[in-house]
Each structure stands twice: as C-alpha cells, then as structure tokens.
A and B are shown apart, each in its own frame.
Chain A
C-alpha cells in the first residue's frame, strides 16, 4: 500500500516535470528563433501561470468537494469562476485592467458569486448540496451572460469575453503586470496553504455536518472560511487566465482515487496534478492550433467524459 502511494506521488511529480519541459520546448515560435533566452522570456511566465492556475483551481476544487461532500462541485460549477470573470470584465471595461484593481475586482466578483449561491441554496436544514449545485449553475449562467452583456455595452469584442470565460495562459505580461500576478499568486497560494493546514477539519466535514459538529469542528465558521478563501484564491487566478473549466473538478477526484480521501494528501496532490494537467492541456492547445484556442475547449474535452463517468458511477 505504502509503496504504491509513493509510486503514485512520483508519478504525478514526473507528469508535472514532463509538462513543464514540454511547455518550455513547444510553442508556435519553434525551438530556435534567435536565442533561446528570448523564448524563455515568453515561456517561463506562461509555465508559471500554468502551474499556479492549475494548482490553485484543483486545490480549491478539492476543498469545495470535501466541504460539500460531493465530487461534482468545483469553482466552476459553483459559479465562482464566472463571478471572477465578471469582476475582471468590469476592471477591463473601466480601463483599470492593468492595475491592481483587476485582481481585486475579480476576487470581489468571486465572493459575490459564492455569496449569492450560498444565500440561494440555504434552506432551513442548512446547506443542501443539490440546491447548492443548482444555484451554482444558475449563478454561473447569469454571470456569464453579464460578462457578454457588459462587453457588448462597452463595445468590446466578444472574443475578449469568450477568452475570459474559457481561459487561456497567453497572458501578455509587462514588468508591472508580472509583479501584480506574482502578488496575486502569493495570496492565492497562501489561501491554498490555509486549506491544507485545515485538512483534518475538511476530512471531518466531508462526513456530514452533524458528525463534524459532534467531533468538535466549528462547521459554520469553517464553511464560510473555506468558501471565502477558496473564492478569493480562484478570483485572483481567474483575473489573469480567465475561467478554466474541469481542472478543479476532475483533478481532486483522480487524486482521491490514487491516494486516499485525506485532504492532507488530496490537496497537495491536487496542486501537483492540477498544475501538470493544465500545462499539458496548454501544450496540446499550442501544438494543435497555431491561431489560438481557449484552454477550456481542451480541458472540457478531457473533463466531460470523466464527468459523465462520475455521474454514472459515483452519484
């Protein structure tokens, strides 16, 4: 058992390393235009964004799934990603897209979305998961429509909206915006670390609410904190990459199958595997299409069959 788990850990770390190497070696610019140094200036930030985005989305997805005892929830199905995209849209159309307001607007949008979902889905007996997922889908559609609407009203291209809602790692960084990204990423990572620190509470909440209460967990406080911190972390990422689907849904589930449901393993494992899978999806996008493709197109093509499998076997 133990040696199998170790092999799995080595496996996901190797996948991440492989994805990083592929990501650095492939790109429409080829392998050897002028000096390699200059390629690195483009590809290293891209790799960095990929690792952080994939990792954070998967960790938050894993935490949400544990919190809600449901393998079908993630930042995307709960509407958090669309909320963040809406926030980012406001920053973009108000001309503050290259300032610190971009991540701030995005995570405010994410908090707004999860807040609405939370209020909509709260019934007398506490949160029910079905209501939560339904509310998430509704809010997700609503906010996506608002993104389109705001873009059209502001006479911006719908292409921009599509990329914001479907994600891309092709961020054009200036020195200032790279600094802002690193700042956002640090906060998002801090959020992930908070979630990892509270793994045991998440383990217990994943049983059920009453049991968690009777085992000494402040369920309501934890629920609010996980929602808040998870949403902020996702918002900080979506501000830069747009909303990328299915990573937060599929990856934690895979990690749970590979290791155990313990969040102290699920969350770090999700970070590594999420980063690897996202970078790999990005490599596919770049190899397949010279003229660019939103990242969610590929992650959804991989993720949907898996989602169907989950739906048929686990729920």
Chain B
C-alpha cells in the first residue's frame, strides 16, 4: 500500500510555481529522506504532503484516499507533522502541549479521558520528556522542545510522521536521540518522511529524494543518491563522498575550502 502519493501536483506561493506536475509515491513503512539545497522546495513539499498547504493543481492521496475528501480531524489521525521550530506566544506546560496531540480524537466539549492521558504519557516516555511534564514550554532547551513536539506528534497516533528539519540546531546527542526514536518507530511500521539539510543524517534513511528548484534530481537508496555527480548537480559543488566505517552508508565531507 502507498502511504502518500502526490499526483501531478503544482504549487507556488505566488504566480511563480515551485512545483509543476510533480509526482511522488511513498510506500507504507518507508523511511524517506528529502534533501536538497536551500530553496529547493523540501519544506514546501512536506507541507503539501501533510495537507497544511493545498496544491493549485493535482491531488495528494493519503492511504489511497484523496486529502480533499478527508476532514482535518481524519487527516490528523493519520498524519502527524513536526515543524522545525515553534514559537509559543503563551506559557503552556509541556504536558498541555503534548495533550493537544489528542485533539483529533476529542469531540466538541469532550474532556481528555484516562485513555488520552495514557497515550500522552506513553508518547512523553518514548521521547524521554516525561520528567518535563509540568515545565513551562518556553523554559526548556531547544533539544527538549523538539522532543516535546515529537511527543505531541506521537500522541496523535499517526500512521505517517512528517518531520521538517527535526534535528536542526540540535547538538550531537539530541540529534542521535531523535534519530534513534525515529528508527524505532519505523521498525514498528510507521512511515516516516524526514526533511533534512544534513546529508549524513539523511544517509540513515531507506530512500532519499534529492530536490533542486522543485525538480527531483534523484530518488533512490542513499548509496545511489549521495554521489559526487548528483550532489554536484543539485548543489553545484563537489564534495568528498566516503563510507561510514561501521554502517557502510555514504558520508559526505565538505570539500577543502
């Protein structure tokens, strides 16, 4: 089964289109990485797949149903979207932020029940933020905040998890923690789509989509995408590509400056 398909979608914030007749199919249980230079449309594509933005033409299907046919609540029960960073205008506690992930399951005026509290607690345990439950969201570190947002996404019990630069600005420890969580989730059968500007991080994905100016340059296993030629085609510079000594996955080194 296909988790998400984008069929001939065209989209632009203005008259100028970023995507034209774009096609993408993501298999259920896949761990897809979307990479490309700044402004290549990675984040926009993710938003189109999440249904946060609507394409001007073409359709996006989730679990083989058109997004337009589904209500926001139905979409939110299937897809969770983790934004890059969140500004919180008000002083929410971590617990309150994670509980918002239960919104798609709550009816008007329905208060969160024991089941919802359990799901939220489970999500916080999985991401290691249960100790922060009572803390003010604006008082915790960036790495903790990112894990809280991931916990909120998990509280949605989604089939598909879309992450926009989930590890940007994070130190090595936090980056690895988050990648481990994602790996675990992927092993449990969740479909994961990760937008990243870190090519070495993207190398952990099972498949990579390399974008440049809204066009796919390549879409294949990391070994076939992270090659000097393709990276040059997308980024316009020739890096050194080597192999990870333990995993054997390609690793991209900066060219000499």
Q: Which A residues contact B (CB, under 8 angstroms)?
A: 66, 69-71, 124-125, 197-198, 200, 203-204, 206-208, 210-211, 213-218, 256, 260-262
Contact = CB atoms under 8 A, between A and B. Distances in A.
Contact of A215 (B47, B88, B89, B101): B101
Contacts of B108: 197-198
Interface in B17-56: 47, 50-52
Interface string B203-223: 000000000000000000000
B72 A70 contact: no
B87 interface: yes
Contacts of A215: 76, 100-101, 103-104, 152, 156
Interface in B75-106: 75-77, 79-81, 83, 86-93, 96-97, 100-101, 103-104, 106
A140 to B, nearest CB: 22
**Chain A binding surface, main DSSP class:** loop
A229 to B, nearest CB: 15
A208 B86 contact: yes
Nearest to B92: A261
B72 A217 contact: yes
A70 B89 contact: yes
A210 B81 contact: yes
Contact of A207 (B47, B76, B88, B93): B88
A63 to B, nearest CB: 13
Nearest to B13: A124
Contact of A200 (B47, B71, B83, B106): B106
Nearest to B110: A200
Contacts of B152: 215
* Cβ-closest 9 pairs across A and B: A216-B76, A261-B90, A214-B81, A216-B104, A69-B89, A216-B73, A216-B72, A210-B52, A213-B52
A214 B50 contact: yes
Given A210-B83, A216-B76, 6 more contacts: A71-B89, A197-B108, A207-B97, A214-B80, A215-B101, A215-B103
B14 interface: yes
9 contacts: A200-B103, A207-B86, A210-B52, A210-B83, A214-B52, A215-B156, A217-B103, A261-B96, A262-B96
A124 B96 contact: no
A66 B50 CA distance: 24
B103 A208 contact: no
A210 B51 CA distance: 10
A102 to B, nearest CB: 33
Nearest to A264: B111
A125 B14 CA distance: 9
Contacts of B156: 215
Residue with the greatest number of chain B CB neighbours at <10 A, chosen from A125, A198, A206 = A206
Residue with the greatest number of chain B CB neighbours at <10 A, chosen from A69, A125, A261 = A261
Contacts of B92: 260-261
Contacts of A214: 50-52, 75-76, 79-81
A53 B86 CA distance: 35
Contacts of B73: 216
B83 A203 contact: no
B257 interface: no
B96 A260 contact: yes
Nearest to A124: B13
Nearest to B76: A216
A213 B67 CA distance: 13
A204 B89 CA distance: 11
Interface in B117-164: 152, 156
A211 B103 contact: no
Nearest to B47: A210
